[in-house]
Amino acid sequence: MFITLPDGRKFELQEKQNGHDVALALSPSLAKKALAYRLDNELFDLAEPIKNPGNFSLVLNDDPDALHLLRHSTSHLLAHAIQNLFPQALFGFGPAIEDGFYYDIDFQSQVVTDADFVKIEAEMRRISQQNVPISRRVLTREAARELFSKNPYKQELIAEISEPISAYQQDNFVDLCSGPHVPSTGFIKHFKLLSIAGAYWRGNSDNIMLTRIYGTVFFTDQDLKDYLYRIEEAKKRDHRKLGKELGLFMISDYGPGMPFWLPKGMIVRNLLENFWYDIHTEEGYQFIKTPIMLNKQLWEISGHWLNYRDNMYVAQIDEQDFAIKPMNCPGGILVYKSELHSYKDLPIRVGELGLVHRHEASGALNGLFRVRAFTQDDAHIYCRPDQLLSEIQRLLKLFDKIYSVFGLSYHIELSTRPENKYIGEIAVWDFSEKVLAEACSSLGKDYKLNPGDGAFYGPKLDFKLRDSLGRIWQCGTIQLDMNLPERFDMTYIDENNEKQRPVMLHRAIYGSIERFIGILIEHFAGAFPTWLAPVQVSVLPVNAQYHSEFALELENIFKANKIRVSLDASSEKLGYRLRKAVIDKIPYALVVGDQEVANKQVTYRRYGSQKQVTVSIDEFIALIKNEIDDKALLAVDD
């Protein structure tokens, strides 16, 4: 029996050879580094015998699946250490997650806190240093029940698992698991326990509350240090904390998940909206505003009443059911249908900053990231099939143009037809997916295929933004809709005077104004670029008695030039007022003293710099105006 190696060579297998045997035959050093093997895209433990021919590759540290393997194995190492330290503990399950792992544990009557992390980590290190082999056992259901007879959580899981059932053992610790895992505990070296929380067993609030311990692990100490640094930075950048400190927004118990925008936050919001309107006007969009509440019949036609009813706010008006809109699309379609359209009218590009409401679970609410009331930067494009490629290309360029202003890079994911729940003909899906892929390729844009994750009504491109800490955010999307044009009987008249269906593109770039502002707060750590800063200049007279008159003159000059300015002439010492300008993250602090009054000049200090620069008033106005007009990410003298 032969397997095919990544370079195309054939390798003849001897009876019962496993992945480690193949690695050893290829290179002893390779065998020491290998974590698992892949056969025809399925992962196996390195010690698992190779049972059939296929394409074979070894999983090393740089493999896309390597970190997941390491993290899952580390969750077992955590449970192993806890079993040694807290013998009465009962284990639920412990998966790998993005950026780490967790384990849900019933400590019975014993209270465990993050103060116990030091001794738990010490025990994890001890087990790691022993380099204990991790081996797989295949069990019958009865054998599994016997093995985990004292653990009701495992018993519940065993009842739901099809035979054969697998478990993994390392020394005296055994866990129910499908695997695969790294070969031994010696591969697990650079880990850190992060936090502790309560979690209902299997996420059901009717079940017992378990203790969930979160952690992370990497292959190198430097990667771990870099991640821990990003976590600390993320805490400092938390948009909920900064939003309060900078006076941007608030949340009230009288409206959970419904942000209140404060004066400074409204400046940021209005600037983003004005930028959106300006750039879309240049791109040939028209703008509409649709009602916030519409009749149930509309939502029945769109399918929301059947598929989304639990997330909608409803009310009765004149003995009829109405719903507050969770999406803008149906209202926009009514605008399209309000008049006849010729093929010559298309494409029609229509934008709406529409306020929508969705009933999210209270436990899921999170600052501006998960809310119940938010404004989507929706736009819908109605075009002919022959215009589809050029419209998507145009959209991709627009996404680039907007995201680059904020210094946000991204990658694209193309989500294709779901395996079962989809509408429309497969041929139409194939055409639509091909057009989306071709649009990306034609502009040199790489994309990751996300098979089966398209919406039921059509494929889509999702834009995953990367911020200054390397975190990924889902924001923009381009969705190709085969559903609503049919449901709403949307038409245009073609050159033969016959009715045809337009193609409908849904797209959002910010995603939602609220969430995008939350991302920007954390991306910039609250220190917005000058064009977006609520206050752009702080004027600070050294001595109010002697310097306030000129400071007031400067304030009026800046206001006349549409520069957002605050005058701090309080009795506090200059050092205190300078620190306050820094805490408020104001881009420019201007100190006004004897020299500035005498020479009619300004001395400025830019946020993040100790350097003081003295220039004429006109020079400073030109400098800051250029920075604002260019929407510069950094000050012009950087």
Assess whether 345 carries a catalytic annotation: no
From the list 264, 304, 349, 376, the catalytic residue is 376
The C-alpha atoms of residue 507 and residue 381 are separated, in whole angstroms, by 8
Active-site residue, 21 included? no
What is the band of 109 on the pLDDT scale with cuts at 50, 70, 90? confident
Q: What pLDDT is stored for residue 456 in this prediction?
A: 77
- The answer to whether 580 is a known catalytic residue is no
Class of domain 530-629: alpha beta
518 CB burial (10 A radius; 0-12, 13-18, 19+)? buried
Is 329 labeled as catalytic in the residue annotation?
A: yes
φ, ψ (nearest 5 deg) of residue 426 = -60, -35
pLDDT at 130: 97
CATH topology for 2-59? Ubiquitin-like (UB roll) (3.10.20)
3-state SS, residue 464: strand
Active site residue 506: yes
Structure confidence by residue, pLDDT tens digits, 484-498: 898 899 999 999 999
Question: What fold is seen in the domain 249-290+332-523?
Answer: BirA Bifunctional Protein; domain 2 (3.30.930)
Pick the catalytic residue: 72, 237, 325, 380? 380
Q: Which of 38, 181, 189, 358 is labelled catalytic?
A: 358
Q: How confident is the model at residue 335 (pLDDT cuts 50, 70, 90)?
A: very high
Q: Of 177, 329, 440, 475, which one is the catalytic site residue? A: 329
- Cα(607)–Cα(549) distance, rounded to whole angstroms? 25
* Tokens 């200059």 found at: 574
Specify whether the CB–CB gap between 119 and 56 falls below 8 A.
Answer: no
- We find that the CATH architecture of domain 66-235 is 2-Layer Sandwich (3.30)
Q: What integer pLDDT is reported at residue 638 of this predicted model?
A: 41
Distances (CA, A) of 139 to 83, 90, 159, 308: 22, 20, 13, 43
pTM of whole model > 0.85?
A: no
pLDDT, averaged across the chain: 93
**Which entry of 38, 325, 506, 515 is annotated as an active-site residue?**
506
Which residue among 190, 269, 460, 507 is the active-site one?
A: 460
Predicted confidence at residue 214, as pLDDT, reads 97
3-state helix, strand, coil split of the chain in percent (to 5) is: 40, 30, 35
Tokens of 403: 């995201």
Same fold, 2-59 and 66-235: no
- Please pick, among 106, 116, 175, 378, the residue that the annotation labels catalytic: 378
Domain boundaries, the chain: 2-59, 66-235, 249-290+332-523, 530-629
Question: What pLDDT shows up at residue 541?
Answer: 95
In contact, 484 and 490? CB cutoff 8 Å: yes
Rg (CA), the chain: 30
Under the banding of pLDDT at 50, 70 and 90, the label for residue 636 is very low
